[in-house]
Amino acid sequence: MSRYERRWIVGVVHAIYPSDVTAGVTGFPLGAKEFPMDRFVEDFFRHTSFQARWGLRFAFFLFQILPFLFIGRFRFFHRLDPKDQQRYLECWHYHRFHVIREVTVLFKLVASLGFCGFPEVQERIGYDKPNRQPPL
């Protein structure tokens, strides 16, 4: 995976779990930006099967380049401001075509396996199991 691709994917994860600093309204004091999501993403793609890996990479690529089609912004996803990122995510998430909706469910899966797996996040949620470990 190239540096750019990783940055794109991590950008989507950051938008799914935005930091309070950028979004200002989540009420949750932590966001994906506070954690080494790039390392998680790298590990995630190393362990998934050939078809899942390529399917997901293709989906992330399309998602990155299509804001103009969905919200009329001629920018890549990672260059959108947080408000437009949220709007764009929701456009896909509530889309009438199943395939398009499913893409965001997959993104949510990747983001949640990463972000919600960090002990600091789990501590705050109240998931107080012993020997918590980060997803790395």
Partner 1 sequence: MTNPTDNPLYNSNQHVRGEFVEKDLYDEADYCIVGSGAAGAACARTLTKEGASVILVEEGPYYSSANYTVNVWKTMKKVCREAGMLAAITPSFSMPILQGTCVGGSTLINSAISWRLPEEAHHVWAKQFGLGEALPYAALENCFSTIEEELHIVSTPDNVAGKNNLLMKKGAQALGIPASPTLRAVHECEGKGLCLQGCPNHRKQSMTITYIPMALQKGARLYSSCRVEKISVEKGASVGVIGHFLSQDRQRKKMKLQVRARKGVILAASAIQTPLLLQRNRLANSSGQVGAHFQAHPGAAMLGFYKEEVRQWEGATQGFQTKPSWEKRYKLESLTLPPELLMIRMPGIGLKTMSYLDSLRHTALWVAAIRSEAQGKIRNFLGIPQVLYVPTPRDMETLRNALKTLADMHFAAGAYAVAPNVLGLPDLLTSPDQTRLLSEQPAQPGQVTMAATHLFGTCRMGVDPKTSVVNPRFECHDVKKLYITDSSVFPTNIGVNPQHTIIAMAMHASHGILDRGS
Task: Round to whole Å and give the CA distance between 14 and 84.
Answer: 14
Encoded one letter per residue, x for contact with partner 1 by CB under 8 A and - for no contact, window 62-91 reads -----------------------xx--xx-
CB of 11 to partner 1, least distance (A): 13
Task: Round to whole Å and give the CA distance between 117 and 122.
Answer: 7
Task: Round to whole Å and give the CA distance between 61 and 2.
Answer: 12
Regarding 44 and contact with partner 1 (CB under 8 A), the answer is yes
Of 1-20, binders to partner 1 (CB under 8 A) are 15-18
Task: Round to whole Å and give the CA distance between 4 and 61.
Answer: 11
User: Using CB under 8 A, which of 40, 60, 63, 77 touches partner 1?
Assistant: 40
Instruction: Please give the size of the binding site for partner 1, defined by CB under 8 A.
Output: 53
Please report the DSSP string for 54-67 in residue order: HHHHHHHHHHHH-H
Nearer to partner 1, 9 or 15 (CB): 15
Nearest 10 degrees: CA dihedral of 119, 125, 127, 132?
0
Site of interaction with partner 1 (CB under 8 A): 15-18, 23, 25-28, 31, 40, 43-44, 46-52, 85-86, 89-90, 93-94, 98-99, 101-102, 104-105, 107-109, 112-114, 116-117, 121-122, 124-127, 129-135
